[in-house]
Amino acid sequence: MGNSWTCLYQRDNTNSITKKKSPPYRSPKSSPLFSRSNTKRTAMEDQEVVKLENSVIREQAIAAALLFRQHQQNGNVGFNRSTSVQFPETRSMKKQSFPRSSSTRSTSDKDSMIPGFKDSKVNDLETKHFVLVHGGGFGAWCWYKSIAFLQEDGFEVNAIDLAGSGVSSFDTHSITSLAQYVQPLTDFLEKLENGKKVILVGHDLGGACIAYAMELFPHKVAKAVFISAAMLPSGQSTFEMFSQQDQPPTAIDLDKALIKDVFFNQSPSKDVALASVSMRPIPFAPILGKLSLSDANYGSVRRFYIQTQEDNAIPLSFQETMVKTIPPEQVFKIKGSDHSPFFSRPQSLHKFLVEIAKIPQNSSPLNHPVEAPPPLAE
């Protein structure tokens, strides 16, 4: 390493009978200055040679440093780092952009998995404000993927914790009515500034909750989206709806050993783990509460339904029954989704939410459901 030189010489072997003639020595420079003759030299002579060599090296180093400084002052030379960390800048590399990891990179319009991302037409919509309402036992936490996708697309998003759910400090066992359970949502809509509308999205029991809010604030709700949710006719309760199944439930069981098979049979294990430590008991009073809905209020809001085809909590056949009983404007189907598409198929769910937001006011309803094929990975 560096500019070090070693001067070697052959020692006399006094114990040997014969002496071999040492070959002529030449330095790497092949200069007469560093050449060594065949004659024998004393230690003092060798030291003089070393001093002379070092003197020449120092003079060369000083000359190189002065030359470099002169060029640097004239702006002719730039200081390059070691080639081990130097990346030559070529024309192709200037134009090339390296994508971040797939877990954090922004998705382009060309992404076949999530068409419609980064759409410039978001600002032209009737409203770009989503309000997400969770189902029984869940909380606002369950929407974390949908919140991220929507916000990246330029939408405004609020996820509501209903009474006794999520981080709400209200005692779940103290809830005595559907109105009390939905109060955080109705309070939010009541405080919403006049003239502003939102898209209500309800999952599971959240379907009955957004229906209750639609009846109270129809002028503040542009559209309502039911995701594998209770979409009830007037005068019916969620309990009565489930009682129409062949095997109606007798209790609300959130046994952690069973929630994966019921709610998350297609969801990633990390989301199942999140739910197992975050879900809270489902209050029974809201399930017994009957809805009182009018055509003038509830009926004036455009409704859309998103079906989940691998749902073990609300089977697809029962979702079809609700859609036929009170038909929405349009039906969407997510293939390969369990009861919780915000976990199992978040990108397909996002695609449909954005598509629903883009549906113009004067559009005619479709006579056939729109299906989302199961992606290779979400």
Give residue-wise pLDDT tens across range 298-346. Answer: 999 999 999 999 999 999 999 999 999 999 999 999 999 999 999 999 9
- Options 129, 311, 338, 350, the catalytic residue: 311
Q: Quote the CA–CA distance of 182 and 234 in Å, as a whole number.
A: 17
Whether the CB-CB separation of 227 and 201 falls below 8 Å is answered with yes
Mean pLDDT of the chain: 78
Instruction: Give the start-to-end residue ranges of the domains of the chain.
Output: 32-73, 121-372
Environment class of 45 (CB within 10 Å of its CB; exposed 0-12, middle 13-18, buried 19+): exposed
State in words which class domain 121-372 has.
Answer: alpha beta
Catalytic-labelled residue, pool 153, 161, 204, 271: 204
- Count CB-CB contacts under 10 A for residue 168: 16
Instruction: Find out whether 139 and 205 touch, Cβ atoms under 8 Å.
Output: no
Please give the Cα distance from 192 to 199 (Å, whole number): 13
pLDDT of 150 over the 60 cut:
yes
Helix, strand, coil shares of the chain, percent, nearest 5, are 40, 10, 50
Task: With a cut of 50, say whether residue 251 has pLDDT above it.
Answer: no
Which tens digit of pLDDT belongs to each residue from 86-101?
A: 334 444 444 444 343 3
> Which pLDDT value is given to residue 80?
42
Helix boundaries (H) for the chain: 43-73, 91-95, 144-152, 178-191, 206-216, 238-243, 259-263, 269-278, 285-288, 316-325, 341-344, 346-358
Contacts with 13 (C-beta within 8 Å, 6 or more apart), sequence order: 19
Catalytic residue among 129, 203, 339, 350: 339
Strand partners, 266: none
Q: What is the pLDDT of residue 122?
A: 73
339 counts as catalytic? yes
Higher pLDDT, 367 or 56: 56
pLDDT band for position 241 (cuts 50, 70, 90): confident
Q: How confident is the model at residue 228 (pLDDT cuts 50, 70, 90)?
A: very high
For residue 338, indicate whether it is catalytic.
no
Amino acid at 157: V
Higher pLDDT, 33 or 244: 244
Known active-site residue 124 = no
* pTM, to two decimals: 0.67
Position 356 pLDDT exceeds 70: yes
**pLDDT reported for residue 256:** 73
| Measured CA angle at 316 (ends 139, 340), to 5 deg | 25
Q: Collect all residues with Cβ–Cβ distance below 8 Å to 252 and sequence separation of at least 6.
A: 136, 137, 281, 282, 284, 287
Terminal alpha carbon distance of the chain? 53
